[in-house]
Structure 1
Amino acid sequence: MKTFLNRIKTSINLSQLAPALQTVHASLQHSRCDCIRRTRQRGLWLASLLAPCLLQAQETSEAAANDSLNLWGLIQQGGWAMYPLGACSLAMFFLIFYSWKETSRKKFFSVEQVQAASVAVAAKDYKQAQSTIAEGKTLLGRALAPALPKLGTNREKAENLFIENLEAEENAVSQWVTYLNVVASVAPMIGLLGTVSGMISAFQTIGRGGMGRPELLAGDIGEALITTATGLVIGIPAMIAYFVLKNRLNTAMIATAQAGTEVLEAD
């Protein structure tokens, strides 16, 4: 009987607590919805603040990418060192073109004139040999023509004069090839100087508080890298062209010396 009464009391207590529990549940539901609504509002507010910044950053990165792909943008980013490097590149192209033209075989001698001059020397007609060899305005003509009149009186003196004139003509041509070697040596050094200048500027930017702002360091580091690359791009082809043209000149000079010796030995 007591157990039955206790169950009735418990059921009465639970029936009294049910409305309170429903009220608490409704309050929690309302609080959760309110929190979700506030979170959404804060998210929209934060997105509205960040959207212009993200858009500007995207535009800046796209502009930087376009500038980096543009040749003029690279030149501007390279700084002051790009101007002497540009002069070196122009000098390199001019020297390669001019030296290649001056070391062509037709600039040194003509086989037909060498044969005609040899026939005239064999006939002891030194004036005819001189006029024949000087007609083409070749390097051999400028070196050998002054020596031919002396061939009839003093052969050794004529040979020595020919050798002296030939060396002078070789020096006149080789100086242009030597200038190409100067460009090949100076261009990488100018690029290295631009690298040092860019790194100094980068450290100065860091000292002014730009450590946390990579966009401030990008220009200085870009200057350091671009100038080095430009110096090597100019220096490497110039060095290759120097050795090619030097070998071309030596080959032409050996053939010219042999042609002059052939004329002198025809006596």
Structure 2
Amino acid sequence: MMLLLQAIDTAKQVVDSLSKTVQPGALPQEELRFGDLLIKGGWVMVPIGILAVLGLVIFFERYFTIRKASKDESNLMAQVRSSIISGKLDSAVAICKNSNSPLGRMLQKGLLRIGRPIKDIEGAIENIGKLEVSKLEKNIAILGIVAGIAPMFGFLGTIAGVIKIFYDISKTDNISMGVISGGLYVKMVTSAAGLLVGIIAYVLYNVLNIMVDKVILKLETDAIEFIDLLEEPSK
């Protein structure tokens, strides 16, 4: 009977010991919140946030500008063709000027050069086209820079956090896994944030470049059509 009681008592002690060991880790002591993680990321999250806002502002500003430049100009070309065929060059110039578009400015420059050799007209249109493309590409390069340096800021924050962790360990002689992992997962938030901003900026950068390429192709096509129109009377 004594042996049975001792066995029961021992079993209770083992169960109590296991429950004390498992219970602290069974439920999280602190709920992980996204906003808290961003705050705990440290000072590096400030430049990463600034880069994110800068990238979005540049993208939307350029997006609407390029989209406006890529609108269908078939009506403009038809009006210019009709005016040239009927000999109303002044009317064609006025139509191009009122269009307030890259193609309109290119055609206007070409119309003002009528009477000169075709090569001179082509050169004038090409020069205006380069200026218009430069206007469309304005600040897009900054988006590419954001895509490049945002991840670097993220890695910098993580490295700074690791340095601080080991500095604290050297001062306190506390090398417990809780201290190391607890500080490290917070600091890796900066890497995740930097990579996220960099990836998004890289995608947006290429989206704008694709849009600009489409506008360039359309302008070149319309410019060739305009030159062919000017050469028709001489054929």
For this structure pair, what is the TM-score category when the shorter chain's length is used for normalisation?
0.7 to 0.9
The answer as to 2:106 corresponding to 1:173 is no
> What is the TM-score normalised by the length of structure 2?
0.79
Q: Distance in 2 between matches of 1:199 and 1:77?
A: 14
Structure 2 residue matching 1:147: 3-state secondary structure: helix
**Which of 78, 87, 91 is the equivalent residue of 2:41?**
78
**Which residue is equivalent to 1:21?**
none
Q: Distance in 2 between matches of 1:218 and 1:177?
A: 40
**Which of 203, 218, 221 is the equivalent residue of 1:240?**
203
The answer as to 2:165 corresponding to 1:198 is no
**Which residue is equivalent to 2:29?**
62
Q: Distance in 2 between matches of 1:152 and 1:219?
A: 77
CA-to-aligned-CA distance 1:212-267 (integer Å, 9 cap, x gap): 34454345413431111111111112212222221221011111121122223212
Q: Distance in 1 between matches of 2:97 and 2:168?
A: 67
Length, aligned pairs only: 221
Check the 8 A contact 2:158/2:188 in 1, yes or no. Answer: yes
Structure 1: runs of 5 or more not aligned = 1-28
Q: Distance in 2 between matches of 1:229 and 1:168?
A: 39
Structure with more of its chain in helix, by fraction: 1
Q: Distance in 2 between matches of 1:171 and 1:249?
A: 10
CA-to-aligned-CA distance 1:88-141 (integer Å, 9 cap, x gap): 111222223222222226545521011111222233432211111222211112
Q: Distance in 1 between matches of 2:139 and 2:81?
A: 32
CA-to-aligned-CA distance 1:13-40 (integer Å, 9 cap, x gap): xxxxxxxxxxxxxxxx9xx9xxx9xx9x
Check the 8 A contact 1:124/1:152 in 2, yes or no. Answer: no
**Which residue is equivalent to 2:112?**
149
The answer as to 2:61 corresponding to 1:98 is yes
Structure 2 residue matching 1:212: 3-state secondary structure: coil
| Distance apart, 1:210 and its partner CA | 4.7
| Distance apart, 1:152 and its partner CA | 2.5
The change in CA–CA distance for 1:193 and 1:159 in structure 2 (over 3 A counts) is same
**Which of 111, 114, 119 is the equivalent residue of 2:82?**
119
Percent of aligned pairs with the same residue?
A: 20
The change in CA–CA distance for 1:176 and 1:170 in structure 2 (over 3 A counts) is same
CA-to-aligned-CA distance 1:137-181 (integer Å, 9 cap, x gap): 111123332332112234322221111111111111113322221
Structure 2: runs of 5 or more not aligned = 231-235
> What is the TM-score normalised by the length of structure 1?
0.71
Structure 2 residue matching 1:197: 3-state secondary structure: helix
CA-to-aligned-CA distance 1:48-67 (integer Å, 9 cap, x gap): xxx9xx99x78x9522xx2x
**Which residue is equivalent to 2:149?**
186
